[in-house]
Amino acid sequence: MVTYAYVFGILLILNGAAGYFMADADSKSLTAFIPSVVGVLLVLCGVISAVKESARMHAMHISALVGLIGVLGALGNLARALASEKSPSYLGLTMTVVMGILSASYVVACIQSFRAAGRARRAEKAASESA
């Protein structure tokens, strides 16, 4: 799971940077780095998990929450942009959709990992009780 935090974190960091540097000079905004902030938080959770084994479960649960916030933020931004009177930026919408897809994919991977860890714990407990 730590590897997923690194990979998705780096992809989100690149998403934010690409959104900022690909924008026209007159439409550049620091809000383009919002996906990068989510990505940095995921990488930070991954680092904490790798460095401190006792904090792994907590850090990975926090990273799942950060991923969920990324999904909700992307959906909210999309809804706001599409409901706006002025025409939304194609680049902005694209970067928002990419952030939403990356964040949602990360949350799905987290859920799958948490379920597998729970099954492994239950199997280990059952094996130790039968021995």
pLDDT band at 127 (very low <50, low <70, confident <90, very high): confident
How far separated are the first and last CA of the chain, in Å rounded? 30
Specify the pLDDT at position 68: 97
pTM metric for this prediction: 0.88
Q: What angle do CA 20, 78, 1 make, to 5 degrees?
A: 75
Full 3-state SS string of the chain: CHHHHHHHHHHHHHHHHHHHHHCCHHHCCHHHHHHHHHHHHHHHHHHHHHHCHHHHHHHHHHHHHHHHHHHHHHHHHHHHHHHCCCCCCHHHHHHHHHHHHHHHHHHHHHHHHHHHHHHHHHHHHHHHHHC
Q: What is the pLDDT of residues 50-100, one digit of tens each?
A: 999 999 999 999 999 999 999 999 999 999 988 988 888 889 899 999 999
Specify the pLDDT at position 128: 84
Specify the pLDDT at position 131: 66
Q: Yes or no: say if 66 and 36 are a contact pair by the CB < 8 Å rule.
A: no
Q: What is the pLDDT of residues 29-41, one digit of tens each?
A: 888 999 999 999 9
Instruction: Break the chain into its structural domains and give their ranges.
Output: 2-130
- Phi (first) and psi of residue 34, to 5 degrees: -60, -45
- For the chain, give the mean pLDDT: 92
